[in-house]
Structure 1
Amino acid sequence: MLAICLRLCAMALLATMFMLVKTVGEYGVASTEVMFWRQAVSVPLILVWLASRGDLGLLRTKRMASHAQRAALGTAALYCNVTAAMLLPLSEATTLGFTTPLFAVLITALVFRSTVGPWRWTAVVLGFVGVLIISQPGHEPVPPLGLAAGLGAGLLVALVSFQIRDLARTEAPISCVFWFAFYGALIASLLLPTSITPHGAAEWALLIAIGVCGTLAQLLITTSLRFGQVATVVVMDYTALVWSTLYGWLIWDRLPPAATWLGAPAIVAAGLVITWREHRLSRAISPGSALEEV
């Protein structure tokens, strides 16, 4: 129950973070700058938290190159997540993020040549049917760039999940989170000269809040996995859709269109089937790995 409660709180924080991302985008702040501050705020917060516990030694690593490679791919995934949140309604952006387990299955089958049974293939087909419904071909479509960013995030986070699995063999979870933020901020800083603009108090408050919400969410995600099994807690990740729908209604007075109400359950159901099947096979590729890249 503790693990489930921690995961539920993490999802509320993540949905809040993406709501803030969308809001600050409406102030004219570029996605590349949002991405930098999301990472840069995390570094001192994690350092202070670890220092207060006397756990700075957890950051020691002999795999710095692997952390840097994970950060490079993860930063690209974060950029896609931020861009999707800015360009799409929150409910659609959140739903497209749930395609990560679909791409993980495809990578398992096509890249690693592992056997994928009919249950997971059926789930993949069902999930992408849901994506097709949400994209509304022949009707008023979602913004193509936003759709591409959402699906790109799903693909990139699936790739990152394999890197995280490899790092987890030797590294503490908080070490993975810290070095991702550290190298991610360095990478994002290279783009700042082309996008940074003067900000007022409101923009700065939003940018700092984005970093705080994202950092706290990652820490809660990491902690939840200490107290519960992956296959149990990741089911709670889908509650982020409830929060994003609520924010869309309260702040932007927009409820998801009929296409989203039809497509989202298909994508969520596909993710749940894959989670259940991977748990049965005892080699889960967690859909919740997507939440490492936020």
Structure 2
Amino acid sequence: MSVSAPNQDRDRSGRSTPIIDPGNQYDERTPLLGEPREGRPPAAPWSTVWAQSKGMVLVMLSQFFGASMNVMTQMLEWKGKNGEGLHPFQILFARMSITVVVSYLYMWYAGVPHPFGTRPVFGLLMLRAAGGFWGVYGLYYSVQYLALSEATVLTFLAPILSCYACSFFIPNETFTWKQQVAGLVSLGGVVLIARPFSAASPPQTPPAGPGIENSHRGSEADHVAATIMALVGVMGASCAYTAIRMIGQRCHPLVSVTYFSSFTTIVSLVAMLTLPSVPLELPGTPMEWSLLVGLGVCGFLLQFLLTAGLAYVPPSRASEKTAGEEDGDETDDDDDDRPQERSATSSGSRATSMLYTQMVFAVLYDKMVWGSTLSIVSWIGSGLIIGSALYVAVARERGPR
């Protein structure tokens, strides 16, 4: 480089004052204690760990707010003393309308460029919106008749399907036959949770919590129907996750959130205006208002953190190691491209695997709020799904290496 040679001459002549090019903060400086030979200041260990783990941490935090949102939804759908519980469309309208307002206000305040997206990613944004709607509606419907932990564990099929879809649509993504077998094993876990042919063991519904009556004593048919709707939600969520991965950092995360929330708000409003069984009504008690507001806040944080975590691509460690050798390597551009592609694939797998942490929060909420636990058969099915999904995440990360 033309700038480094003069700096090196001054260092050899005994000059101790560093000369820093204002156009590049990483040009040669006077060596500090422990400074690497390529002239870059040493990165703090915590900052390196954070840079590599930021996507995983964001997704894990999103799952806490997701589990909190789900238990609030279940409480609204199991409302007791004031009559029938709220319909999923009513809850979706309340939650998503709050998310739309908060998202647009934040983008206006922060000056986010292209708040309505750009033409190249418009189709992917619409796919993310439609898939996200079916994903959340399937979940909201299923928690009416399934325990929160059971409904949550069914959603763990979505990351597996998303990994399979990304292997087709994203370069350098692989999905081996072993990982496909893991997907079939997870389907066996779904059967154990659904128990569609077991008439002897009725489905477990969450017992009433403090001040909440359990008025939705679902039958076995309701249990199976809820499982089917949960699987429809899995397909929708898979489309949403795949679209988010394909969009990447080509638009701000809140743009994706506003597309999804706006689409869901419009569909829910149309459903309430056209379906006689789903009236457009306001909450009747302060508790319902509090739950709906909390639902909207948790929903916004869930979508923002989830989108930001899945779209985040950490810096390539391999490219950092070879940064000081780029002057003498004519094929450096090709070498940099390959580690960056592997890094993007690896980071997506690790971030996606954090979706499974919601099961921990769901089981905790089931015990604290409803006082219920999974049956032994459901625990076995849950273990099959979680184990298979975690294997897929690890295998996908190791596959390209």
TM-score (norm 2): 0.63
Instruction: Tell me if structure 1 keeps the 8 A contact 2:134–2:237.
Output: no
2:198 maps to 1:129? no
- Does 1 or 2 have the higher relative contact order (CA < 8 Å, sep 6+)? 1
Q: Equivalent residues in 2 for 1:51-90 (5 A)?
A: 51-62=108-119, 63-64=121-122, 66-90=124-148
Aligned residues: 282
2:253 maps to 1:192? no
* Separation of aligned partners in 1, 2:313 and 2:160: 26
Instruction: Tell me if structure 1 keeps the 8 A contact 2:189–2:384.
Output: yes
* Separation of aligned partners in 1, 2:138 and 2:118: 28
Return the letter of the residue paired with 1:156. G
2:242 maps to 1:242? no
1:132-152: per-residue Cα shift (whole Å, max 9, x none)? 222234342541111112111
User: Structure 1 stretch 85-94 or stretch 180-189: which is displaced more?
Assistant: 180-189
Instruction: Tell me if structure 1 keeps the 8 A contact 2:309–2:351.
Output: yes
2:103 maps to 1:46? yes
Give 1 or 2: higher helix fraction: 1
* Separation of aligned partners in 1, 2:251 and 2:378: 39
Q: What residue in structure 2 maps to residue 215 of structure 1?
A: 300
Return the letter of the residue paired with 2:395. R
Return the letter of the residue paired with 1:263. G
Return the letter of the residue paired with 1:124. G
Instruction: Tell me if structure 2 keeps the 8 A contact 1:72–1:187.
Output: no
2:234 maps to 1:154? yes
Alignment identity in percent? 22
RMSD value, Cα: 2.8
Q: What residue in structure 1 maps to residue 68 of structure 2?
A: 16
Larger Rg over CA atoms: 2
Q: CA deviation at 1:198?
A: 4.1
TM-score (norm 1): 0.84
Q: What residue in structure 1 maps to residue 177 of structure 2?
A: 118
1:52-87: per-residue Cα shift (whole Å, max 9, x none)? 322254444225455334423321222111111222
Instruction: Tell me if structure 2 keeps the 8 A contact 1:6–1:220.
Output: yes
2:225 maps to 1:140? no
* Separation of aligned partners in 2, 1:167 and 1:9: 21
Return the letter of the residue paired with 1:36. F
Which structure 1 segments of 5+ residues have no match?
283-294
In structure 2, relative to structure 1, the CA distance for the partners of 1:101 and 1:20 (3 Å cut) is same
* Separation of aligned partners in 2, 1:5 and 1:167: 20
Q: CA deviation at 1:185?
A: 1.1
Return the letter of the residue paired with 2:231. L
Q: What residue in structure 2 maps to residue 288 of structure 1?
A: none
Q: CA deviation at 1:47?
A: 1.7
User: Structure 1 stretch 199-208 or stretch 37-46: which is displaced more?
Assistant: 199-208
1:259 match: secondary structure = helix
1:55 match: secondary structure = coil
Return the letter of the residue paired with 1:250. M
2:92 match: secondary structure = helix
* Separation of aligned partners in 1, 2:290 and 2:97: 14
Instruction: Tell me if structure 2 keeps the 8 A contact 1:59–1:174.
Output: no
Return the letter of the residue paired with 2:110. R
Q: CA deviation at 1:127?
A: 0.5
In structure 2, relative to structure 1, the CA distance for the partners of 1:135 and 1:46 (3 Å cut) is same
Q: CA deviation at 1:30?
A: 0.5
1:165-195: per-residue Cα shift (whole Å, max 9, x none)? 4444743332111111122211221012231
Return the letter of the residue paired with 1:32. F
1:29-62: per-residue Cα shift (whole Å, max 9, x none)? 1111111122111111112222332225444422
Return the letter of the residue paired with 2:112. D
Q: What residue in structure 2 maps to residue 205 of structure 1?
A: 290
2:32 maps to 1:32? no
Instruction: Tell me if structure 2 keeps the 8 A contact 1:119–1:273.
Output: no
Which structure 2 segments of 5+ residues have no match?
1-48, 80-84, 204-222, 315-346
1:68 match: secondary structure = helix
Q: What residue in structure 1 maps to residue 371 of structure 2?
A: 253
Instruction: Tell me if structure 2 keeps the 8 A contact 1:38–1:210.
Output: yes
Q: Equivalent residues in 2 for 1:161-176 (5 A)?
A: 161-168=241-248, 170-176=250-256
1:86 match: secondary structure = coil
* Separation of aligned partners in 2, 1:66 and 1:111: 12
Instruction: Tell me if structure 1 keeps the 8 A contact 2:62–2:302.
Output: yes
Q: What residue in structure 1 maps to residue 395 of structure 2?
A: 277
